[in-house]
Structure 1
Amino acid sequence: MIDIDHLRQWIGREELQSELLTPAIVERFNATFNLQGDTENGAKAPAMIHLCLAPPAIPTEELGPDGHPARGGFLPPVPLPRRMWAGGAFSFHDDIHVGEMVTRRSIIQDVVVKEGRTGTLCFVTVEHQVDSDGRAVLTERQDIVYRGVDSPDTTAKKTLSIAPEGEYRLTVQPSAALLFRYSALTFNGHRIHYDAPYVREEEGYPGLIVHGPMQATMLMQLAEQIRGRHPLQFEFRSLSPLFDDADFTLNAAEDGAGLKLWTSYADGPVAMVARAEW
Structure 2
Amino acid sequence: MEDAVGKSQVATDVLDPTRIVALFLALGLDGKPPGHYDPLPPYFHQVYFWDVHRPEELGRDGHPHIGGDGFIPDLGLPRRMWAGGRLTFFGPLRQGLPAQKTSTIEKVQLKTGRSGPLAFVTLRHDIVEGGMLRVTEYEDLVYLPDPDPARPRPPAPVAPEVWDDAIELTFTPTLLFRYSALTLNGHRIHYDRDYCQRVEGYPGLVVHGQLLAQFLMLRANAHGTIRHFSLRAYAPVFDFETVQLCRAGDRYWIRGEDGRLAVMGEAVFAPSPL
Residues 212-231 of structure 1 aligned to structure 2 (within 5 Å): 212-225=209-222, 227=223, 229-231=224-226
List, as ranges, runs of 4+ consecutive aligned residues in structure 1 with deviation greater than 4 Å.
Answer: 152-157
Matched, 1:232 2:248: no
Structure 1 residue aligned with 2:242: 247
Q: How many residues align?
A: 265
Asked if structure 1 preserves the Cα contact closer than 8 Å seen for 2:166 and 2:245, the reply is: yes
Residues 119-268 of structure 1 aligned to structure 2 (within 5 Å): 119-152=116-149, 154-155=152-153, 161=158, 163-225=160-222, 227=223, 229-254=224-249, 259-268=250-259
User: How far apart are 1:38 and its partner, in Å?
Assistant: 4.3
Specify every segment of 5 or more residues in structure 1 that has no aligned partner in the other structure, as ranges.
1-6
User: How far apart are 1:125 and its partner, in Å?
Assistant: 1.2
Greater shift, 54-63 or 216-225, is seen at 54-63
User: How far apart are 1:37 and its partner, in Å?
Assistant: 3.5
Aligned residue type for 2:183? T
User: How far apart are 1:151 and its partner, in Å?
Assistant: 3.7
- Aligned match of 1:93 in 74, 90, 93? 90
Asked if structure 1 preserves the Cα contact closer than 8 Å seen for 2:85 and 2:231, the reply is: yes
User: How far apart are 1:133 and its partner, in Å?
Assistant: 2.6
Aligned residue type for 1:48? Y
Determine the C-alpha separation between the residues in 1 that align with 2:11 and 2:46. 12
Structure 2 residue aligned with 1:51: 46
Query: Matched residue of 1:232: which SS?
Result: strand
What TM-score comes out, normalization by structure 2 length? Answer: 0.91
Aligned residue type for 2:5? I
Asked if structure 1 preserves the Cα contact closer than 8 Å seen for 2:92 and 2:134, the reply is: yes
Identity %: 34
Structure 2 residue aligned with 1:109: 106
What TM-score comes out, normalization by structure 1 length? Answer: 0.90
User: How far apart are 1:163 and its partner, in Å?
Assistant: 4.9
Asked if structure 2 preserves the Cα contact closer than 8 Å seen for 1:155 and 1:205, the reply is: no
Measured against aligned partners, the alpha-carbon deviations of 1:211-257 in whole angstroms (never above 9, x if no partner) come to: 011111100001112x1x33100000000111112111111101xxx
Aligned residue type for 1:9? D
Determine the C-alpha separation between the residues in 2 that align with 1:10 and 1:150. 27
Asked if structure 2 preserves the Cα contact closer than 8 Å seen for 1:210 and 1:243, the reply is: yes
User: How far apart are 1:154 and its partner, in Å?
Assistant: 4.4
Structure 2 residue aligned with 1:11: 5
Structure 2 residue aligned with 1:75: 72
Asked if structure 2 preserves the Cα contact closer than 8 Å seen for 1:81 and 1:148, the reply is: yes
Asked if structure 2 preserves the Cα contact closer than 8 Å seen for 1:220 and 1:230, the reply is: no
Determine the C-alpha separation between the residues in 2 that align with 1:30 and 1:20. 18
Measured against aligned partners, the alpha-carbon deviations of 1:23-52 in whole angstroms (never above 9, x if no partner) come to: 211111101212234443211112111112
Measured against aligned partners, the alpha-carbon deviations of 1:90-132 in whole angstroms (never above 9, x if no partner) come to: 0100001110112111111111111111111111111111112
Determine the C-alpha separation between the residues in 2 that align with 1:141 and 1:160. 23
Structure 2 residue aligned with 1:34: 28
User: How far apart are 1:161 and its partner, in Å?
Assistant: 3.6
Measured against aligned partners, the alpha-carbon deviations of 1:44-82 in whole angstroms (never above 9, x if no partner) come to: 112111112112101122211211111121111221011
Determine the C-alpha separation between the residues in 2 that align with 1:162 and 1:220. 18
Determine the C-alpha separation between the residues in 2 that align with 1:91 and 1:244. 30
Greater shift, 28-37 or 231-240, is seen at 28-37
